[in-house]
Structure 1
């Protein structure tokens, strides 16, 4: 019961902490409390991670790729302290926690998977119903009051991200910079749900689509259809590009999918560098142009000192849109390689023949594509926490706990998996 309560606290905070913070800032005039609210979820997840470390010290077994994740985390903590000390004048240094929490969330999921009484279906259902419920609520509010009235006039969300979150470049005319979708001189209001940012809404929904399709086969049309409508209303195009690409790569070659995905990401980067003007012209969208310009800056950072020692060696802070570029040029090649090995292990563990958790493998492929080409959104807790938490959870918990579920051993005999065994 206690772990269920903690789970719902994490879900609730990820869905509502931005609107709670904005309300406290705009309506209650309490900037200090607004700042504290947005960090509560990190404190809760951090507490679960500490509990996991206690289990680890007491003999909890980890796979090799999970040790890579812990080594990466240790390296980032040490290097992060050095970067903050050496580059205190850069706001980017204050956001180094972005690169730590995907791994922390994974091990929080491991702790839940090893100790909770509920199964993966319950976990996915809890996140799914909460996400759909908040989206429905804000759909009604948008229709009744108007999205601009809610986010600009009532919540002053732009003031919140400037004064409390410390963002300096994400506000346009009193609204979040991504509030409108601009195309051929026209503006379309993007659906934000309760997130305050259409990208966070879209990626959180997209991550949910994949496990929902597998875990709820009888209701997949209803649930996935609803999620697709919500994501489409955010006008986040990359989601509808990388989701089918990730699924296609896995379907064509589950065994080699991770390496194929890395190769596809590499060629995507090369294409952007050499054909960026053509891509920007075909899109005719300011967001796409910004992505192209960001990727083209990569050549300025490719040098031996930066690749070996990151920002501490180069004395240059990266500010790319693709998350992998920032990770590589902040911390250097070794932590970056450890993180890739961590992802590769998660993928391999969920892409075995007959795997019933293939959705985790597909999500990892989408994460690689997104972090390589588009943005850092898969590092952000609000938008992508469920991907990492779910990956950790299923590593220690089966997809559905059923007393009469049977597997077949290598000799063809029926076998009942033991408590905590992974059913694939």
Structure 2
């Protein structure tokens, strides 16, 4: 039958076995053995004591003691077969009572087995076992010298009904626990998905902006190498700095996406970092007007996620201007009101209606929507593109 140390209790594997209040599998097996031994002692000792006060009952013999022991032994020996345990325990108790042996705690193991079977989800089987056991008791009593009276039959039926209904309580609790566990798992999975999506957006913005800057500076460097090689150093320095910063941020994002434990994250970008983006764009040859220049002063009281999203909006907008707009100049405007932070980036490029939105603009809309904001993209009458994003700052507007 295998190593006893590997056996599990009859309720092992039930839907509520993993609940915090159920204990570990080792603890469940230990409790099962103790319960089975206690029931064995109770049924043997209790029925022996009861026999002294029931001279009219059938005398306890080897068969009677074997029937008393079968239920507890089934609880101890049968690994995880809850219906089989219930069938053995109920069958032994029904046979014992039907043959007219002294009434006592013989039904203890049968009652526990039925409750566990119902609680474990074996409802139909448990009800069938209970019904067959009840019929077996009445049938054996009818053909033996110890028939079951009407009062005893009604009491037995009520006892079985109570046990089966009691088994429903932990089953329903188990269903609630399982549903709560599934809900928590779904919430965690959704949170992980949102975090990874945000990281993917950051990765897109970082790579797009850095490669755009590198491409522009490389073109400048190539031009200067032919005509003024001594002036190529600033462009090459900008390429080096941009590539180093991009590699560092990409390494951080990829480490998080790979779930490599507690990965040190670089600080989230803030409004004050917009000046760095503008300086990089200016170094690439794009004339950028920033207002106000002291953008860090606007950050007071602005939530970190809003500051990071505003930074990414400016980053993606300047990247699009450098790569696609064919513009010579751009304007970055930041306005902080009592209820909202507004970010506007416009250029004098060649954009004309209609505007086709790529991944950059779509990511921008997703960032704003996640914070309760709005994005407006329009072509300017004089040519070029205008991107205006509004982030709410009041608690009733910001999503929970």
Please indicate, yes or no, whether the TM-score normalized by the shorter chain is above 0.5. no
Does 1 or 2 have the higher relative contact order (CA < 8 Å, sep 6+)?
A: 1
TM-score interval for Structure 1 and Structure 2 normalised by the shorter chain:
under 0.3
Comparing both structures, which one devotes a greater share of its residues to helix?
1
Compute the TM-score of the two structures, normalised by the length of structure 2: 0.22
Q: Which has the larger radius of gyration?
A: 2
- TM-score w.r.t. length of structure 1: 0.21
